Structure 1
Amino acid sequence: MSNAESPTTPRIADQVTEFDEGFTAQIGPEFSKVFADEQSALRAAGTPDDAVAAGDTIVEATLVTPAGDEVSLAETVGEGPAVLVFYRGAWCPYCNLTLKTYQAELLPRLRERGVALVAISPQTPEGSEASVTNGSLEFPVLSDPGNVFSGALGIRTEPSADARAVHGQLGFDVADSNADATGDIPFPTVLVVDRDGTVVFADVHTDYTTRTEVDEIVAALDLLETPGA
């Protein structure tokens, strides 16, 4: 990659490191340990056996726009390939910095290739609108009520009981943000899907503090068939 093509936004991992330093100082060692233990347990458990993988075919899904209107995944994506980003919600700082990075560094490259970018979470339409506003996002941000779509893909999970208890002490409950009032969320996941709905790249992150970097997604685009091939 030439210098002219190099991203101007820091890698997500570097942004996470900087955020974690300030967050740890803000919430203190006791709460930080709860989250660190949760992340360690998630890494140890690994990716579920039934999680979506390359070669799978995406099922059709009914999603909800920030305006509250139902829309199908097919009509959102159109007839071309797509990058689908599953995130936890506007309440998740790791999600916010990831979506902002995708807006700045990934979206322009996808537009050049005619590839759609769609972000999906289980939160309410109002939460999706908050994600759009927070990140000045110019791509579709949709709700998956009840985690129906993420459940079909095998990437549905929930915060640990200890983590949710800390959330509560910090004045937040994920169930208040979700469309179905549960604490269920997807593992942060990026899928690159061809025009026929076949997954050519799947990156499931059980540890929610790690995310798929822009250069990984761009590299995966080469797995897509070119028109007329």
Structure 2
Amino acid sequence: MSAVAPVPATIDAQVAEFNEGFTAQIGPEFSKVFDDEQRALRDAGVPADAVRAGDTLVGATLVTPAGESVELADLVGEAPAVLVFYRGAWCPYCNLTLKTYQADLLPHLASRGIPLVAISPQTPEASEQSVANGSLDFTVVSDPGNVLSRALGIQTEPSADARAVHTQLGFDVADSNADATGDVPFPTVLVVDEEGVVVFADVHTDYTTRTEVRDILDAVEARWGSDGTPVSPSV
């Protein structure tokens, strides 16, 4: 009798486990600052001008970990693509998510010839750290100044209190960003078609929550089928 393959842990379950240890490590005072920040982000909701299904992806010049400029259109090509916007290598929730996408999402996308591209406002060196953190085999690039994120309506920044806690914990977001600001994108996943039209958009204002692998694959399969063959629209 063959063994049943284990079901991968959801990102939500991994976050819950991480938060238990993280809260114990930083203490209740700092934890409250982050809790308050997350609550305010949830209450504010997704911005009205944030990217949504039906929008056409804008062009953008991005930067590789090697410091070379590359056009988004060249990364996406003429095939469907999945774009992941994340805050940076300093963010434990981002690292957890990218590792999960490496293990549980990338094989399914690669078998369909669908590129996976992760984008942050970091310096090339910090993008390289993201790759190292997760042993990532997919494309990781920088969006200096959040130009693309801003055009998509998903740019934000940590609260002043959260940045103060970051500093007390020994780092500042601005040190990792290419433009030396604290601006970051809302964690977002986009699935775009061959024409650059967004067919799935999932924007998370609370940075402790992320798009699950199954939700991304459902969006891909709804449009291209389980084998990558385009699905004809219903008449």
* Range of TM-score over shorter length: over 0.9
User: Match of 1:210?
Assistant: 209
Alignment CA distance shift 1:162-1:200 (3 Å)? same
CA distance in 1, matches of 2:36, 2:231: 50
Residue 35 of structure 2 corresponds to 36
Structure 2 equivalent of residue 27 of structure 1: 26
CA distance in 1, matches of 2:13, 2:158: 24
Q: How many residues align?
A: 226
- Equivalent residue for 1:67? 66
Output the aligned Cα RMSD.
1.4
SS at match of 1:38: helix
Q: Tell me which amino acid in the other structure corresponds to 2:17.
A: E
Partner SS state of residue 164, structure 2: helix
Moved more, 215-224 or 142-151: 215-224
- Give the distance between the partners of 2:133 and 2:167, measured in 1 at CA: 23
Checking the alignment, whether the CA contact within 8 Å between 2:223 and 2:231 is kept in structure 1 is no
Are the aligned partners of 1:7 and 1:105 in contact in 2 as well (CA < 8 Å)? no
Q: Which residue pairs with 2:184 in the alignment?
A: 185
CA distance in structure 1 between the partners assigned to 2:46 and 2:231 by the alignment: 35
What secondary structure is seen at the aligned counterpart in 1 of 2:119?
strand
TM-score between the two structures when normalised by the length of structure 1:
0.96
Shift in alpha-carbon separation, 1:42–1:142, aligned structure 2, 3 A: same
Mapped partners of 1:224, 1:76: distance in 2:
20
Instruction: Determine the structure 2 residue equivalent to 1:96.
Output: 95
- Percent identity among equivalent residues? 75
SS at match of 1:53: coil
Aligned counterparts of 2:186 and 2:114: Cα–Cα separation in 1:
23
Deviation at 1:77, TM superposition (A): 1.7
Would the alpha carbon gap of residues 68 and 31 (structure 1) be closer, same or farther in structure 2, given more than 3 Å must change? same
SS at match of 1:224: helix
- State the secondary structure of the residue aligned to 2:136: coil
Q: Which amino acid aligns with 1:108?
A: P
Residue 195 of structure 1 corresponds to: 194
Distance 1:208 1:7 in 2: 27
User: Unpaired segments of 5 or more residues in structure 1?
Assistant: none
Q: Which residue of 1 aligns with 2:157?
A: 158
Is 1:118 the counterpart of 2:117? The answer is yes
Stretch deviating more after TM superposition (97-106 or 74-83): 74-83
- Partner of residue 137, structure 2: 138
Q: What is the TM-score with the length of structure 2 in the denominator?
A: 0.93
Q: 1:78 to 1:18 in 2, by over 3 A?
A: same
**2:7 and 2:69 mapped to 1: Cα distance?**
36
Matching residue of 2:83: 84
The separation in 1 between residues aligned to 2:213 and 2:76, in whole angstroms, is 20
Deviation by residue 1:125-150 (Cα, 9 ceiling, x = unmatched) = 00100000110000000000000000
Structure 1 consecutive aligned stretches of length 4 or more whose deviation exceeds 2 Å: 6-9, 222-229
Distance 1:208 1:227 in 2: 33
Q: Provide closer, same or farther for how the CA distance between residues 168 and 9 of structure 1 changes in structure 2, counting only shifts above 3 A.
A: same
**Distance in 2 separating the partners of 1:123 and 1:183:** 10
